[in-house]
Amino acid sequence: MINPGKQLEDIELTKTQRERAVTLYTHLCEGIQARGLNISFYPQGSFALKTAVRPFAKGKEQAYDVDVICNFDDYSKDELDSGQLMLLLRQTAREVCKERSLEIDYYERCVTVHYADDPSGVSFSIDLIPAVRESELKLAVLRAKTEESELVETSIAIDSLSRGWITNNPQGYRKWFEEKADQFDSRFIQESRGVFASVEELPDDDTPSSRLRQSIKLLKRLRDVYYDEIDAKTSSPSVIITTIVTKLAQSISPSVTSLELLDAIILELNQVFLLHERGEAYATTYQTMPIAKIVMRENGKWVLRNPTNWEDNVLSSWNETGAVASKEFFGWIKSLQVITKDYKKRGQSDLEFEQQFRGLLLINKKSPNMPRFNVNSSNGVKPWKKQ
Given this model, what pLDDT does residue 348 score?
58
Average pLDDT over residues 123-127: 93
Together in a domain, 20 and 74:
yes
Given this model, what pLDDT does residue 182 score?
83
Q: Is residue 39 part of a domain?
A: yes
Q: 43 is in which domain, residue-wise?
A: 4-173
Would the pLDDT of 204 be above 50? Answer: no
Given this model, what pLDDT does residue 293 score?
95
Q: Is residue 330 part of a domain?
A: yes
Q: Is residue 182 part of a domain?
A: no
Together in a domain, 198 and 165:
no
Given this model, what pLDDT does residue 58 score?
76
**Overall number of domains in the chain:** 2
Average pLDDT over residues 164-174: 97
Average pLDDT over residues 7-33: 89
Q: For 169, phi and psi rounded to 5 degrees? A: -150, 65
Average pLDDT over residues 31-53: 94
Together in a domain, 142 and 228:
no
Q: Is residue 201 part of a domain?
A: yes
117: left (phi over 0), alpha (psi -120 to 50) or beta: beta
Domain end: 120, 139, 173, which one? 173
Q: Is residue 180 part of a domain?
A: no
Q: Write the CB contacts of 132 (distance below 8 Å, at least 6 apart in sequence).
A: 71, 72, 75, 76, 77, 80, 85, 156, 157, 159
Together in a domain, 280 and 374:
yes
Together in a domain, 320 and 359:
yes
Would the pLDDT of 378 be above 70? Answer: no
Given this model, what pLDDT does residue 283 score?
94
Would the pLDDT of 367 be above 70? Answer: no
Average pLDDT over residues 328-341: 85
For the chain, the average pLDDT equals 84
Given this model, what pLDDT does residue 207 score?
47
Together in a domain, 104 and 227:
no
Residue with the bigger pLDDT between 278 and 209: it is 278
Together in a domain, 162 and 19:
yes
Together in a domain, 70 and 214:
no
Q: Is residue 181 part of a domain?
A: no
Q: Considering the entire predicted model, what is its pTM? A: 0.87
Given this model, what pLDDT does residue 165 score?
96
Greatest Cα-to-Cα distance within the chain, rounded to the nearest angstrom: 65
Given this model, what pLDDT does residue 351 score?
60
Together in a domain, 37 and 96:
yes
Residue with the bigger pLDDT between 351 and 207: it is 351
Would the pLDDT of 15 be above 90? Answer: no
Cα dihedral sign, 35-36-39-40:
positive
Together in a domain, 212 and 326:
yes
Given this model, what pLDDT does residue 119 score?
75
Residue with the bigger pLDDT between 360 and 156: it is 156
Given this model, what pLDDT does residue 81 score?
94
CA separation for the pair 16, 76 (Å, rounded):
38
Residue with the bigger pLDDT between 118 and 94: it is 94
Together in a domain, 110 and 198:
no
Residue with the bigger pLDDT between 267 and 61: it is 267
Average pLDDT over residues 152-170: 96
Q: What is the pLDDT of residues 65-113, one digit of tens each?
A: 999 999 999 999 999 999 999 999 999 999 999 999 999 999 999 999 9
Residue with the bigger pLDDT between 190 and 22: it is 22
CATH number, domain of 127, equals: 3.30.460.10
Together in a domain, 152 and 206:
no
Fill in the DSSP letter of residue 157.
E
Q: Is residue 296 part of a domain?
A: yes
Q: What is the pLDDT of residues 213-238, one digit of tens each?
A: 888 998 998 899 899 889 998 888 99
Given this model, what pLDDT does residue 114 score?
96
Q: What angle do CA 61, 127, 175 make, to 5 degrees?
A: 95
Q: Write the CB contacts of 231 (distance below 8 Å, at least 6 apart in sequence).
A: 377, 378
Average pLDDT over residues 247-253: 90
Q: Is residue 179 part of a domain?
A: no
Given this model, what pLDDT does residue 24 score?
94
Would the pLDDT of 337 be above 90? Answer: no
Given this model, what pLDDT does residue 113 score?
98
